[in-house]
Amino acid sequence: MTMNKSKSTGKLLSLCFTAILATAGSLSAYAADANNANFNTVKAKLARGEQVVGGTVSSSDLNIYCAMAGAGFDFLWIEMQHSPLTYQEVATMIRACPGPALPFIRVPDATEGDIQKAVDIGALGVIVPMVDTMEKIENAITFAKYPPIGKRSQGGGQYGTLWGRNYRQLANDNIMIVAMIENPAGAEIVDQIAALDQVDVVFVASSDLGSFTGLRQGDAAYEALVTRIKDATLNAGKYVAGPSAWKDTREGYTFFQGPPESALIRSGARLSLEGSAEEGLPRGVAPIEGTEGL
C-alpha cells in the first residue's frame, strides 16, 4: 500500500515537473521574442496597414484560454469590466499561454490600481471603457506608462518573465491604449481623445452607442455619430476599431473585437452536429484522439 502510494506521488511530481518545464519553455520563447524593440505584434501589424482581430475571453478556464490563444486571433480581449474575473486568475491565464494571441485587458475602470495591475501581469493592450472625459483617458495613460511619459511605478509582476529582462526600457513603446467611445458625451470630445499622443486605437462601441441613444445601426443619427468618431480617429492618424461584424463591411476599420468564447463554442458545436469536416482532415475522417486541440 505504501509502495503504491509512493509510486503515485512520484508520478504526480514527475507530471508536475514536466508541466513546469513545458510552461517555462513557452515563456522563455516569448521572452526571447520580446528582446526585439517592437514585440507587440498587434501594433506592428497595424503599422503595416493590416487588420487585427481579438477573441473575447470571460472565462478563467485555462483550457479555454489557451485554445483561444492558439486559435489564430491576433490578441485576446480579456473581459474584466463585465465578468467576475480576478487579476490573480488573469495572471495565471496569461502566464499559461502568453501567445500567439497577445493579452489585451478591458479594465473595469481607469483607476491606478486597475491599470497598473493589468500591465504588471503582462497586458500589452489596455482597453479603457466608457471614455467620456479627458481625465479618464489621461489617467489610463498616466498609470500604464513609465516615466517620463506617465507615472507607472516600478512595482513587481510577471511582465519581465513574459516579455524579457529589458521590458522596462521597451514597455512604453509596446503597450497600447484603446479608448472606447460608448456614449454621446464621448463622441463630443473624440477629437481631443484621438489627438492624445499615447492613444493608439479608438473603439466605436456599437451596442452601447445604441443603448445610450436609443438608436439602431442604420438610423441616420446613429450613423452620423459613428462617422464622427471614425473620421476624428483617422484624421488624428490613429486606428479605428469596432465589432468583428463590421470587418470588411465598413471602410477605415482595422481593429476588431471578435465573438466571446461561449459564442464560438456554440457555433463550433453546430458545425460538428451538421457533420462538417474536422479542420485539416477530409470529410469522413475522424481525428486521432488527443490531437483535437493541436
- Residue 120's φ and ψ, nearest 5 degrees, are -65, -30
- Does a cis peptide bond (omega within 30 degrees of 0) precede residue 260? no
Helix, strand and coil in the chain, % to nearest 5: 50, 15, 35
Cell of 91: 495572471
Q: Which of 151, 245, 254, 231 is nearest to 198 (CA)?
A: 151
CA 76/CA 124 separation, integer angstroms: 10
The verdict on whether 263 is a catalytic residue reads: no
CA 80/CA 85 separation, integer angstroms: 6
Q: Rg of the chain over CA atoms, in angstroms?
A: 21
Q: Which of 179, 241, 180, 176 is nearest to 40 (CA)?
A: 176
- The residues near 284 (Cβ < 8 Å, ≥ 6 apart) are 277
In a 10 Å sphere around its CB, with 0-12 CB exposed, 13-18 middle and 19+ buried, how is residue 250 labelled?
middle
Catalytic residue among 11, 82, 165, 266: 82
Apex CA 208: angle with CA 204 and CA 213, to 5°?
A: 105
Q: Which residues are catalytic?
A: 82
